[in-house]
Amino acid sequence: MPYHNRYDPRDWLNSLPIRGARQGYNPLDDPHFDVNKLKENEIDMGSWAVAKLPKIPDRIREKYNEENHETDIELITGRYRDEETGEIREETVRMGTDVSWKLPGMMVISEEYHNYFDLKGNLIYDPLGRKEAEEREKAKAEAAEKAAKEKEACAKQAAEKAAKDKEVRAKQAQQKATETVKGAERTLDEIRESLLQKERELKETLQQGRLGLKEIEKKKAELDKLIVARRKELEERDDAHVNLLRDILHYHQTIVEEQAKRKPDLFMKQSQIRIINEILEEIRNYFAGSEAEDYLHLAEEPREDDLEHHPGTTYSEMAILLVAYSSTLHAFSMERLYEKNDKSMLGSAGGE
C-alpha cells in the first residue's frame, strides 16, 4: 500500500476538494471515523464521492495500479475459458480507488460505479449473474427434455418387447397344435392335456399382451404429467423473469428520479441510456399487443455527429418515460392489463 502524507499538497487525495460534503459531514476531518457506523453507503463530497467497499464473495478484486501507485477496486463482470490454454479468464470493470489507508473500508467511486450499484450499495446490474442464471435454466430445461425422451424410449421398448413375445408365443402355440395333429395316435388323455396346455399358454399370452398395453398407457400418463409440469415450469420462469425486469427497472427509476430532483436538465450519458434502453426494449417486446404498447417508448440516445438536434435524454425526461413502464408492470401484476384490440386480460406475473 502506498504511503500518503495528509499534509502534502501534492498528494492526489489531499488535492481533492472536500467542501460541500453531504449534510456537512466530512469524514476526512473525523478522527473517529468508523465505516460500520455510517447510516448511508455513500458520502457525497461535492465533485467526488466515497462509498463502502462492496462485499460480494468471489466478485470483487483488488488490482495495484503501477501508473498512479494506487489500488483499484474491480468488479468481475464475466468469466470464460481460454480455448488455447484452458485457463479461466475474467472480465472486470473498475469501480473505484481504495482509500482504506485514509478511510478504512471506503473507496473513491469511479464513473462506472453507478452503472452497476445504486445509492444503497445494491448490485442492480450484474451481467455475470444474469448469464449464470440463464445457463442454469438452460441446463435444467435440457435435463427435463432428456428425461422425457428416455421415458418415451422405455415405453416404446416395452411395447415392442411385448409384441415380440406375443408373436413368439403364438408361433409356439401353432407349432404345438401341428404336433398334436400329427400325434393323433396318442391317447385321448394326452390330447386333452395338450389342449389344456395350449389354452393355458394362450391365456398367458393374452395376459402378457394386456400387461404390455397397461405399461404403455402408464408411460403415456407419466409423459403427459411431465409435459404439464414442464409447461407450468416455463410459465413460472416467465413470471419470474417479469419480476426480475420489474426489480431492475425499479432500481434504475430510483437513481433517475434522485438525479432528476437534483439536476433535471442534465443530459444522461450514452452508456446509461443504453443500459436502461436494453431493459425497456425487453419489457416493450413482452407487452407488445397490449393496451399499453403505444405508451412504451425508448429513450433517445445522443448523436455525436449532431448533438445540437439530438443531444439525448435528460434525467427529468427519463423519469417521465419510465412512469409508463412502471405503470404497465403494476397493472400487469394486479391483473388489470388487457389486450389492445379486445378485452382479454393478460396473465399476471406471480399469479397462480
Residue 113 burial (CB < 10 Å; 0-12/13-18/19+)? buried
Identify the pLDDT of residue 183.
61
Task: Kindly state the average pLDDT of the residues 325-338.
Answer: 92
Query: Any idea of the CA torsion for 321, 322, 328, 332, to the nearest 10 degrees?
Result: 170
β strands within 122-224, DSSP E = none
Whether pLDDT at 297 is above 90: yes
Whether pLDDT at 17 is above 60: no
Identify the pLDDT of residue 306.
84
Range of the domain at 178: 130-236
Segment among 120-124, 141-145, 159-163, 327-331 with least mean pLDDT: 141-145
Residue 340 forms part of a structural domain: no
Residues 97 and 60 in one domain: yes
Last residue of a domain, one of 236, 260, 283: 236
- Amino acid found at 84: E
Residue 348 forms part of a structural domain: no
Residues 218 and 140 in one domain: yes
- Domain count for the chain: 3
Residues 94 and 32 in one domain: yes
Residue 79 forms part of a structural domain: yes
Q: Which three cell numbers stand for residue 187?
A: 391317447
pTM: 0.37
Segment among 149-158, 182-191, 225-234, 262-271 with least mean pLDDT: 182-191
Residues 208 and 159 in one domain: yes
Last residue of a domain, one of 236, 262, 287: 236
The Cα–Cα gap between 299 and 279 comes to 11
Q: Give Cα 146 distance to the centre of its chain.
A: 22
Residue 352 forms part of a structural domain: no
Residue 341 forms part of a structural domain: no
Task: Kindly state the average pLDDT of the residues 109-125.
Answer: 94
Residues 68 and 91 in one domain: yes
Residue 42 forms part of a structural domain: yes
Residue 73 forms part of a structural domain: yes
Last residue of a domain, one of 72, 91, 123: 123
Identify the pLDDT of residue 22.
47
Residue 251 forms part of a structural domain: yes
